[in-house]
Chains A and B, each alone.
Chain A
Amino acid sequence: MTPRSFQAKLVYLTVAVLVLLQAATLIAVHFAGQRTMRDSIADELRVGSRVLDRILAVRGRQLSETVRALASDYAFREAVAIGERPTITDALSNHGSRINADTVFLVSLDGHVVADTLNSRYVGKRFPLPSLLGEAQERGEAAAIATFDERPYQLVLVPVLAPRPIAWVCMGFAIDEVLLNDVSRLTSLDVSLRNPGAERGDYQVLLHPLKTADGSRIEVLLQRSVAEAQRPYQRLELQIFAMSMLALIAAVIAAFFFARGVTRPLHRLSEEAQRIERGDYSTAVDIRQHDEIGKLAGAFNRMRTGIAEREEQIRLQATHDSLTGLPNRTLFFDRLSYAIADAKRSAGWIGMIMMDLDRFKDINDTLGHHFGDDLLIEIGRRLNHTLRESDTVARLGGDEFAVMFAVTDPRHAEHVAQKIESALESPFVLGGVSIEIAGSMGIAIFPQHAGDAATLMKRADIAMYEAKKNHSSFAIYEPGRDEHSLRRLAILSELRHAVARDELVLHYQPKIDVGTGRAVHAEALVRWNHPVHGKLPPDEFIPLAEQSGNISMITKWVLRRAIADCGEWNASGVELTVAVNLSALDLFDAELPTYISGLLSEVGLPASKLVLELTESAVMRDPSYALRILRDLKHRGITLAIDDYGTGYSSLAHLKRLPVDELKIDKSFVLNLRNAATDDIVIVRSTIELGHNMGLRVIAEGVENAEAWQILKTLGCDMAQGYFVSPPLPANEFRVWIGAAQTAFRSGGVSPEALS
C-alpha cells in the first residue's frame, strides 16, 4: 500500500474524517456533559435542599404527633396533674426515647421549666426559648428551629390539656449528624452544618438557611463533589472514546477492504494494460462485478480484442499486399533472410524466382485498373495453387511477383519455373474478357548465386531481364551478368527521366520514290544522348522501354517531335511525309489515335503527311485489339505501314485484313541484293508483287548500293531507304540535306548517286 495509492488515500481519508467527527463528538459530549453535570449538580443540590426541608417537615410532624400523644396521654396528664417531678421526668424520657427525641421539656403555663430530660438542668429556670412559648400561647402550639445549649434543635411545643391546658410540653430533635446523614444518604450529597472552611476545593455548594424562631442563624451546607459527579461522565466519555476507536478500526478495515475491492480489479486491469502494452492479447481480465468496475473490465476486454484485431490487421497490411493478400516485399525479404540463415546452418539450397508480367501496363491502361487488379489477384491464386505450401509467393509491387522455395539442384528451380509457366498458360477469363498473359522469370539460387537475401533478389531480377531480353519465359542467373545488367538497369531507371531532361533526339532518314528519285518520306529514328554512355541506338533502350512500360512515353515524345518537325518542313515548302515507328505496346493504347489527331491539328499538318510503321509481331500480339486501333488511325487519314516485313510469321490472309497502305521489306532481304540469282531476289520480287496485288506500296530498307537500287527499280519497288541514299541524319543536317535534294530534283538531276 504505497502512500499515493487509492487504497491508502481512502483509508487516510476515512481515518481523517472519522477522527474529526469523533473528536468533535467527544468535545461536544465533554462540554455537554460538563454543562449537564453542573446543571444536574445544581438540581441535586436543590433536591437536597427540598429533601432537607421535607425531612425536617416529617420530623416536625413526627415530633408534633409524638408530643401531642404525650400531652394527651392520660397517665402523663395524671402525672403532670399530680405534679411529681421524677414521674414527670421519666414520662418525658420515656416518650422522648420512643421517637429518639433529643430533648423534652415540661413547661408550666407561666413559662418555667417543670421538668426536662437534660439532667433537670433547666428545672425551675425560665424556658430557654420564650419566643417559642409566646407563639404557642398565641396559636395553641409552636414548632421551630432554635439554638440552645449551643446546638440547633427542631422543637415542637404543645399544651398538655386536661382538657384545659395545664402545662406545655416541648420535644425536640437535635439537628445533628444523624439528620444530615439521612439527607446525605437520600441525596448523595455532602451535608453539614455550615462551618466556615468546610467548603473544599472542587465542590459545588448550596447553603440552605433554616428558619429559626430565635433569629439565630443556622445554615446547612449542601455540597457535591464535582470530581465524583464527573466520574460517570468520564466513564461515558471513556466508553464513547472506546467505541470511537472500535468504529475507527472497523472503518479502517472496511475502507481497506472496500478500497481493495476497487484497487484489486484496477491492479489487474493495469497489469492487463501492461500485458497489452507488451503486445500480449491472450488473456482476458476476469472481473465479474456488476458495477462500474465490471463495466470497465468489460470495456477493457472489448478494447483488448479490438486492439488485437486491429494490430493483426495492421501487421497483415505491413507484411502483406492488401490486394492479393500475398506477403509483400518486406515479408518476403524477411522470410528469404530466415530461410537463407536456416539453409546456411543445414547446408541447404534456396531458390527464388522473380517474375513480372509482360504487357501488364498496357492491360492496365486499356482494360482498366480494376481489371488489372483482378488479374493480379487471379495470378496470385494460381501461383499459390501451383506451389507447395512451404513455398512463399509474394507480390513485390506492380506486376512483380516473387517465389521462394527450397531446392536440391538448379534443375529443380527450372522445374518450378516451368510449373509457373504452365499455370499461367491457360487464358484468364475476367468479367467476360479472356486474356492471355505471359511472365518473364528470373531464377537465382542460394548459395550458388548469392550469399544473402538482398543479392539473391537482385540477381533473380537480373535473370528476369535476361529472360525478357531473350523473349524466353525464364532464365537462370549467370554469374558475371551483373555489369551488363547494371548498365541496363541504370539505363532503365534513367529512361523515365530522359524525356524530361530532353536527352532524346530525332534523326531522320529519307525514303526515295524509286520512280522519280524524289525524297517523299522521312523516317524519324530516336537516339538517346545519354550523359554517361553517349549516343545510344534504339536497339539498346527501346526494348528496355518496352519492358519497363516507358515506351508509350517515348512514342508520344517522338510523335510530337516528328509532327512538329514535319510541320516546319512543309511550312517552309519542303513537301515531305514523316514516318514514326510504333511499338507493339502502343497498339494497346486506345487513346493514341486521339492523341495523334491532337498533335496534327496543333501543328496544322494533314493526317496524310504522317505514316505510322509497325511490325508484324506487334500486330500479331493481339490482332483483334490492334486492328481496332489501326482502323481508327486509318479512319483518321493516317497512312499505316508494316515494318520489317518478312521476319514474322504472319499469314497473308491476316495481312490482307489489316488496313495498311505500305509494306516495308525487312533490310535483311535487301542488304544482299547484289545479283539476281539469290533467293532474296525471289522473296523481294514476290513481296513486291504481292504488295502491289494487294494495293500496297512496297518499300525496301537497307539499300546500300547502286546494284540494289537498280534491281529494286527493275522490280518496281515503290520506295527505297538506306545508306545508298542517306544515312539517318540529325534533324538540322537532314534539313540541309533535304533542301539540297529538293533543289536538285527541281533542277532535273535525279539520281541517288547525286543525292548521296
Chain B
Amino acid sequence: MQKGLRYMVAVVLLLGLVASAGCSGKSTTPADKPAAEPAKQEAPVPLRIMVDWWQATTFEEDSPYWKELEKRLNIDLKVEWTPGNEYDTKLATVVASGQFPDSFLVNGGDPNLAAWMQQGAFMPVGDLIKQKMPDLSKNINDIAFKAVTYKGKIHGIPRPRAVIRGGMVVREDYLKKVNLPMPTTYEELGKVLMAFKNQKVCGEGKKCYPFLAGERLGGVGLVIDSYAGGAAVAWREENGALVYNGINPKVKDALSLLRQWYTDGLIAKDFPVLKGPDQQQIVVNGEGATWYVDYIQTVTDERYNMFAGYGVGKAGGRLVPTPVLKTPDGKQLIAAASGTNGYMVIPSTLKDQKKIDALARLFNYWSTPEGYEFWTWGIPGVHSTKGADGKLQLTEEGKKMQLATNQGSFRLTDVAPDVPYTNRLIDPPDMIKMLKGYYDGVNPHAVFDASLGLISKTKQQKFTELQNMQIDYFTRIITGQVDLAAFDEFVQKWKSQGGDQITKEMEEYKKTLK
C-alpha cells in the first residue's frame, strides 16, 4: 500500500512538472489562441516573424501603436527580437532545425544565404512583390535584389537602405581654426590633418586624433576603397572580367599613404583596438577631428545627431561631410552598399495563403501613404494632435513613439523615402535639402560590388577567413609591423588560399545567367 502511494505521488509530481513546463508565457501558435469571438470580419491572421535587434529594449507588443498596427492590417503579430550580434548563429540553428517562423530576416552578408537559396529553403517572392507590394517595390533599387536572385527568381524582400549611407566628416570649427578649406583630394586631406596636429586643434594638453580610425580598418577603409577602385572586399568588372579590388596594386599606394600618416601621428597608435563606442566617445570629447560615420544623418540631422547633446554640435563644433576625395590619379569614387539591410524571406514550407498575403500587407504598408503617415504621426489624439496653426504635431507620447520606431526599425522593411533617412512629413525642408545635396553629391561616384548575386561555394567556405587575413595584413602594414612589400605576400596568399577559386566560380556562375 505504502509503495503504491509512493508511486502515485511520484507520477503526480512528474505530471505537475510537465504541465508547468507547458506554461510557455505568451502563446505563439494559432492553436493556443482562445476561441474566436463571433466575427463580423475575418479573424486576425497570426504572424510570427524573427528579426535582429541592436538595443537593450524593444518595441513592446502591448503598446497602443502595436495594437493599432495589428488592427489596421488584421494581423496578430509576434516578433522574435534576437540580439543582432548573435542573430546569424540563431538563424542557422532555426533553419537547420526546420522550425521556421512565418518570415525572418537574412542578412545580405550571411555566408549561408546562397546555400539556402540553392536548397530551396525560401519561397520565390518576385511575383508577390510585384502584385501585392506595389508601393514597396517602387522604393527598391534594382541592385538590392541581386544577392537574393537565384536562377532568375527573387527569394527575399529587401529592407531598403541607401546605397551610400555614410561618409567622411570633419570638424568644421577645427578647419576654421587651421584656416584651411575643405579638402577635395587625399593630398589636401593630409595637409589638413598635419595642420590639425601641429596646431593642437583639440586643445592644449588634450588628446587629439586628427584622423580617427578604428578596429577592422574603420575609417582608413574609406581611403583604401578609393584607391582600390571600389570596396576593398568586393569585386569590380574590368574588360568583362571580375577582378578583386583588395589585390589591386593601387592599394599599395593607399597603404603607403596611411602608413605615413600613422608614422606622423595623424592616426591613433591604438586604432586597431578602438571599437565603435570608443570612437564615439572620442568624438564626443572633442578629440576626433576627422572621422568616418556609418550614417551621415547622425551628424547632419539634429534629431538624430547623437553628438549634439554631448558637446559636438554646440557652439560651432559641428561635424560636416567632406566631398568624395580624389586620389592622385584623379579617381573619385566611394564604395556603394547593396541598397539593402538584409532580406525578409518566407520559408518555402509556408503554404497558408492568408499568412503570405498578410506578410505582403505588412511589408508593403510602410510604403503606402497611410502607412507612411502612421509611421510619422502614430495614432491621432494619442501620438499626434493638431496645433493652433492646424498642422499636426507630435505629443510627448508621440515623440517617444518616433524615437522607438526610428531607433529600431520596428518597421520590418524600411520606407526608403526619396531622400534616405528623412521623413518628408516631419523633417524640416532645409534639412532634407541638405541631405539631398549630400547624396546627390556622392551618388554619381558610387561603385557597386560586381559580385553581388554571384554564387560561389568557396566564397561561402573561405571568404570570411580571407577577409580577416586581408584586415590583418593591411593593419600590420599601416602600423609598420611589416614592410610595404608584405602586400605582395598578401596577394599571393589571397590567390592561393581560395581567392582565385572564388573568382573563377563566380565567373562560371555568371555564364549560367546569360
Q: Are chains A and B native binding partners rather than an unrelated pairing?
A: no
Interface, chain B (partner A; CB < 8 A) = none
Partner-B contacts on A (CB < 8 A): none
